[in-house]
Structures are given as structure tokens and as C-alpha cells.
């Protein structure tokens, strides 16, 4: 299967690989996927309490090139966005930007789930209720 150039670029030069302090109150961590399914994504965001802006984002991903590219792209998109803006990121945005073929759509769903999980982790840590999302369908 041929990968799009953008997937290859993210795979070869992934942006924002790393780890934020998950015990910090400003950090939200989303860990989604399962080793059995062949992909696990961990996405972390650091949020400025006062402005509600995402000041930093890091990822680590176990998975195929498309999963790595989707999470790398997610960190790029999240930085500098507000939490509310981040919530509007949709899995189809990844599919379009990275030209993912149908068999790789689950990678984009995983990336969207990781963003939501990270935001909810941050919310819960800061005494807010977790947002209930509809179950993703493409699994």
C-alpha cells in the first residue's frame, strides 16, 4: 500500500514526540486503543488555567505509519487552540489532511478519541464533569 507524502513525512519527522508530567494538574492525558488491535495512542495536552488555551501537546504511539502520522498531526493542531476549539476536531479532518485510505480510517478515529480523552482527563482533574461523547462507530 502506498502512503501519502504527508503520512511519510510525519512518520519520518514526527512532531512533538514525548511525555508531559501526567500528575500535573495542567496536563490532560488520553490513552486510547489496545495492543491487541495493533495501535495504542497516548496524547497529552498542557493547558493554561487562566486562558483555557493548549500551550503544549505531546504524543507517543504504537501503531502503523498512519497512526503515528495522525497523532503527530493532532499535536500540531492542538497547540495554540482553546479547549473548545480542540473539541471540534473531527476524525475526517485527519482523513482529508493525510489522505488516509478506507482501511486506515480507524487511525483517524483513534486520534479524535485521544483528543477527547485528553480533554476529559484535564477536565476531571480540575473538578469539571467529563463530557459524554457518542461512541465512535468505525472500530
Partner 1 sequence: MLKLPIYLDNNATTPMDPRVLEAMTPYFLEHFGNAASRNHPFGWEAEEAVDYAREQVAKLIGADPKEIIFTSGATEGDNLAIKGVYEMYASKGNHIITATTEHKAVLDTCKHIEKSGGEVTYLKVKPDGLIDLVELEAAIKPTTILISIMYANNEIGTIQPIKEISTIARKHGVLLFTDATQAVGKIPVNVNKDGIDLMAFSAHKMYGPKGVGALYVRRKNPRVKVTAQMDGGGHERGMRSGTLNVPGIVGFGKACEVAMLDMEEDTKKISKLRDKLETELLKLEEAYVNGSREHRLPHVANISFKHVEGEGLLMGFNKNIALSSGSACTSASLEPSYVLKALGLGDDLAHSSLRFGLGRFTTEEQIDYTIKAISDTVTRLREMSPLWEMYKEGIDLSTIEWAAH
Element (H, E) at 42: strand 39-47
Among positions 69-98, residues that touch partner 1 (CB under 8 A) are none
* Interior angle at CA 95, CA 10 and CA 58, nearest 5: 40
- Provide Rg for the chain, Cα atoms: 14
19 binds partner 1 (CB under 8 A): yes
DSSP letter at 137 equals: S
**Identified binder of partner 1 from the candidate list 91, 106, 115, 118, rule CB under 8 A:** 106
- Measured from the CB atom, the residue of 19 and 49 that comes closer to partner 1 is 19
Would you tell me the crossing angle of helices 5-12 and 91-98 to the nearest 10 degrees?
Answer: 100
Q: How far is the CB of 126 from partner 1 (least distance, A)?
A: 22
Stretch that binds partner 1, among 49-57, 84-92, 101-109, 123-131 (CB under 8 A): 101-109
Residue 40 binds to partner 1 (criterion: CB under 8 A): yes
Amino acid at each position: 500500500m502506498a502512503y501519502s507524502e504527508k503520512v511519510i513525512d510525519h512518520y519520518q519527522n514526527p512532531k512533538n514526540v514525548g511525555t508531559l508530567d501526567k500528575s500535573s494538574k495542567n496536563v490532560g492525558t488520553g490513552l486510547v486503543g489496545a495492543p491487541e488491535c495493533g495501535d495504542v495512542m497516548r496524547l497529552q495536552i498542557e493547558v493554561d488555567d487562566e486562558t483555557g488555551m493548549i500551550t503544549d501537546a505531546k504524543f507517543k504511539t504504537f501503531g502503523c505509519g498512519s497512526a503515528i502520522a495522525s497523532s503527530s498531526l493532532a499535536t500540531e493542531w492542538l497547540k495554540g487552540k482553546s479547549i473548545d476549539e480542540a473539541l471540534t476536531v473531527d476524525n475526517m479532518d485527519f482523513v482529508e489532511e493525510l489522505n488516509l485510505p478506507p482501511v486506515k480510517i480507524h487511525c483517524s478515529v483513534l486520534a479524535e478519541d485521544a483528543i477527547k480523552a485528553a480533554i476529559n482527563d484535564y477536565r476531571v482533574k480540575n473538578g469539571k464533569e467529563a463530557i459524554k461523547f457518542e461512541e465512535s462507530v468505525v472500530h
